[in-house]
Structure 1
C-alpha cells in the first residue's frame, strides 16, 4: 500500500480553505446527485493518473475534497514532484458515489494548481541556468475565489507569491499617484496609515519618477513596462546614484513571460513579477479511474 505523503506547505493554509472547498462542492451538487444514485455505495478504489508532464501541486485541496466526503487519499508522489504521463499519482478509497461526487472538483483544483506550479518551476529553472540572483514572483492577477490555490501553486513551483491581497504591502500605481498629484504626496499618505510594518512599492514610468519615489522613502521601485537596454540602464543608474544613501529594491514588471524572461535578467534588478504565472497557464491533465 502506498505511503501517505503530506504537503510541506499545508500548515500555511488558514482553516478557511476548508469552507471554500465545502462551497465548491455545494456549487457542483446544488440538489440531487443523479450519478451517485446510479453507482451506489460499494467500497471502491480509484487511481489518480497524471496524463501530461508536469509538477504535482495542490495536495491539501485535493485531500480536503475527499475528506469532506469521508474518502481517504494515499499519495504515490509528494508535492513538488515532476512526473511524466502516464504516472500513478495517488489512490482514493471510499464509496463509489462519494468518489465520483468529488472527482471533478478535486481534479479541477489539482489541474489548475499544478499548471501554475509547472510554469513557475520552468521560470525558476531558467533563473538558475542563467545565474540570475533576483526573485521570480507572481502578481495579484488571480481568479476571484481561487486565489489561495493559484498563489499556493506558485509557491510549490518555487516562485515568490508577491503580495497576497490589498492588505499585504502597499503598492502605489499610476491612479494612486494621479489622485494625489505627485509620487511624494502618495508615499507620504501611504506611510501615514501603513506604519512601519508595511513596505511601500511605487510604480514608476521613468527614471525621474523613480528618483522621486526613492527620495520619498519607497521600499520598492517598480520599473513598469520598461524593456531591453532602457530597463537595465535605468536600474543600474538608480542603484549607483543612491548607493549608500537609500536602501530599496528594483522590480521589473509588465509583459514578462516564460519565453522572454531571460531578457530581463540583470544584476541590478531584484524582482521580476509575472502576471503570466497565473494567467493563460495550461492546466496539467489528470484523470481518476475506479479500478475494475
Structure 2
C-alpha cells in the first residue's frame, strides 16, 4: 500500500468526521489518559493492520497502538484485536473512522476467504475488479489480498483492457487491438473481453496477452480455454455467485475475477471499549 497515499486518505477521512473539532471530547476531557480495546463481535478474517497502526500516528502521536493480530488471521467473537493507550480525547475522536475501515476491510477479507474455500482449486487465482467504493479502492484491494485473493488492475492507467463497449465502438477486436499496438510500448499488456467462441479465436489470432471469458458457463470456460495457447493468460468473469463458484473448479482458467468481493460485502462487526478503571478524573 502506498504510504503517502495512505496518509492522505486517512487524513481526509479524519477531517470529514472531526471537522473543526470533536465537540463532545472538547467539552468533557481535560487530558485524561485511557486504554481502549478493539474487540471482534463476529467470526471472520481480519484486515486493516496498517490502518490500525497508522491512523492514530496522524491524529495524535501520543497514542500508542498495540496490534494483536495480523492481516489474514481468523478472528472470533470477543477476541481482542488491539489495545490503544493515550489521551481519551484523541482515541475517541478517531474511533469511528478506525472502526469503519477495519469493519469494511475485514468484511471483504472474510468474503474473499470464503470464496477461495468455496472454489477449492489452488490452480485458479481469485481476484477483484474495479467495482470498488469510491475513495476506498486502496483499502478494499488490500483487504482482498488479506483474504487470500489477488488484485486485478488498480485503475484505468495500469493495464489495457478492451471491454465490450470498446470493441463495439471500434468495430471489432482486431481493429481495436491494431489501434492499440500502433502506439503501444513494450511494457503494457493487452486484455480482451470475449463473449463467444468466435471472439476467443479472434483474440488469439491478433496476439493479445490476456483473454477474459465473460459470463461463460463452466462448460464454456473449459471449451474456450482449450482454444487458447498456454502463453496467453485466461480469466473468467461475470455472473458467478458463491453458490456457483465451485462449478468452476477444474476449468483450468488462470484467474476468476469477482465483483461481489467488494461491491456486495457486509462489514465485519468490531467495537471499541474503554477500560473504565483506566480513566483518572
| TM-score interval for Structure 1 and Structure 2 normalised by the shorter chain | over 0.9
Q: Deviations over 1:141-184 (max 9, x none)?
A: 11111100000001111101111110111100011111211101
Structure 2 residue 215 is matched with structure 1 residue 231: no
Aligned residue number for residue 76 of structure 1: 68
Unaligned runs of 5+ in 1: 1-11
Structure 2 residue 202 is matched with structure 1 residue 212: yes
Contact 1:57 1:79 in 2 (8 A): yes
Among residues 238, 263, 272, which one is paired with 1:279 in the alignment?
A: 263
Give, in whole Å, the separation in 1 of the partners of 2:105 and 2:183: 35
Among residues 108, 111, 117, which one is paired with 2:103 in the alignment?
A: 111
Among residues 169, 183, 188, which one is paired with 2:178 in the alignment?
A: 188
Aligned residue number for residue 145 of structure 2: 155
Kindly state the Cα deviation for residue 235 of structure 1 after the two structures are TM-superposed.
2.3
Aligned residue number for residue 81 of structure 2: 89
Check 1:132–1:74 CA distance in 2 against 1; reply closer, same or farther (3 A cut). closer
Give, in whole Å, the separation in 1 of the partners of 2:92 and 2:3: 27
Structure 2 residue 27 is matched with structure 1 residue 38: yes
Give, in whole Å, the separation in 2 of the partners of 1:155 and 1:189: 34
Moved over 6 A (4+): none
Check 1:249–1:34 CA distance in 2 against 1; reply closer, same or farther (3 A cut). same
Q: Which moved more, 1:131-140 or 1:84-93?
A: 131-140
Structure 2 residue 22 is matched with structure 1 residue 15: no
Check 1:14–1:76 CA distance in 2 against 1; reply closer, same or farther (3 A cut). closer
Contact 2:221 2:253 in 1 (8 A): no
TM-score if structure 2 supplies the norm length? 0.92
Unaligned runs of 5+ in 2: 277-281
Contact 1:256 1:273 in 2 (8 A): no
TM-score if structure 1 supplies the norm length? 0.89
Kindly state the Cα deviation for residue 64 of structure 1 after the two structures are TM-superposed.
1.8
Kindly state the Cα deviation for residue 121 of structure 1 after the two structures are TM-superposed.
1.3
Contact 1:132 1:267 in 2 (8 A): no
Kindly state the Cα deviation for residue 31 of structure 1 after the two structures are TM-superposed.
2.1
Aligned residue number for residue 253 of structure 1: 237
Check 1:60–1:278 CA distance in 2 against 1; reply closer, same or farther (3 A cut). same
Give, in whole Å, the separation in 2 of the partners of 1:256 and 1:199: 25
Kindly state the Cα deviation for residue 107 of structure 1 after the two structures are TM-superposed.
0.3
**How many pairs does the alignment contain?**
273
Aligned residue number for residue 124 of structure 1: 116
Aligned residue number for residue 279 of structure 2: none
Aligned residue number for residue 162 of structure 2: 172
Give, in whole Å, the separation in 1 of the partners of 2:225 and 2:168: 23
Contact 2:191 2:211 in 1 (8 A): yes
